[in-house]
Amino acid sequence: MKLIIFVTLCQCLINLSFAGDGYCYTKWMNGRWVSVGDCDNPSAEDVLKKLRENVAKKEEIKTWYRASNGLYYKLFNDPVTYATAKSNCQNRGGDLASVGIRNPTVFNGEILPMIKSVEVDTWIGLDDIQQEGAFVWADGVTLSDQDSFWSTDQPDDHKNQEDCVHLSHLKKWKFNDNHCSTSNRYICEIKLN
């Protein structure tokens, strides 16, 4: 009897694992092991895996260019739509570049030399998707006249279809609004804590 209680106790301890807000454990029922308790939440193993992934992501960001404003930048050369560019940056923990673009020192001295290496248009984090004519930076700041570097006659919302902003290589890297579905390369910006 004592032996049975001991074995059962050991099995419980072995199978008991902390998961989310509660406990998830396996129990021998009707001839098979079944999961009992709070088993919907991620296991401790999953949480650890996620933590390791985050550390690896952070290490990767540290290989990016660190600008004088303390933020990290990387230019991605695969041509994608504005939405894809944005989500690719967000998946890495940042967004399309905004803070550094409206900082003349960082923009002219650090970002432009990076972008000028190849003459291709580049998405930045600026659009008027939410409200026509009201341009908002990726970090939520409203575009002001002070940080507007539009090329001549832009933004023109050509055919009422241009809501996403890129740096135009044909227009001396000034801003141009374009179709968001156009494929351009893009520059991400990330703040590491």
Footprint on this chain of Ca ion (rule: CB under 5 A): 128, 132, 154, 156-158, 162-163, 176-177
Closer CB to Ca ion, 19 or 127, in the complex: 127
- In whole angstroms, the minimum distance from the beta carbon of 122 to Ca ion comes to 15
Q: Alpha helix (H) ranges present in 62-175?
A: 82-91, 104-106, 112-115
- In whole angstroms, the minimum distance from the beta carbon of 33 to Ca ion comes to 57
Closer CB to Ca ion, 126 or 188, in the complex: 126
Task: Determine whether 69 is exposed, middle or buried from the number of CB atoms within 10 Å of its CB (0-12, 13-18, 19+).
Answer: middle
Cβ atoms of 173 and 116 within 8 Å: the answer is yes
Closest CA to 155 of 171, 141, 184, 185: 171
What single DSSP character describes residue 182?
Answer: S
Q: Which amino acid is present at 140?
A: G
Q: Nearest residue to Ca ion, using CB? A: 157
Backbone angles phi, psi at 39, to 5 degrees: -105, 0
Closer CB to Ca ion, 45 or 157, in the complex: 157
> In angstroms, rounded to a whole number, what is the distance separating the alpha carbons of residues 97 and 165?
11
- In whole angstroms, the minimum distance from the beta carbon of 159 to Ca ion comes to 10
Calculate Rg over the CA atoms of the chain: 25
Cβ atoms of 33 and 26 within 8 Å: the answer is yes
- In whole angstroms, the minimum distance from the beta carbon of 132 to Ca ion comes to 4
Closer CB to Ca ion, 50 or 158, in the complex: 158
- In whole angstroms, the minimum distance from the beta carbon of 158 to Ca ion comes to 5
Closer CB to Ca ion, 60 or 156, in the complex: 156
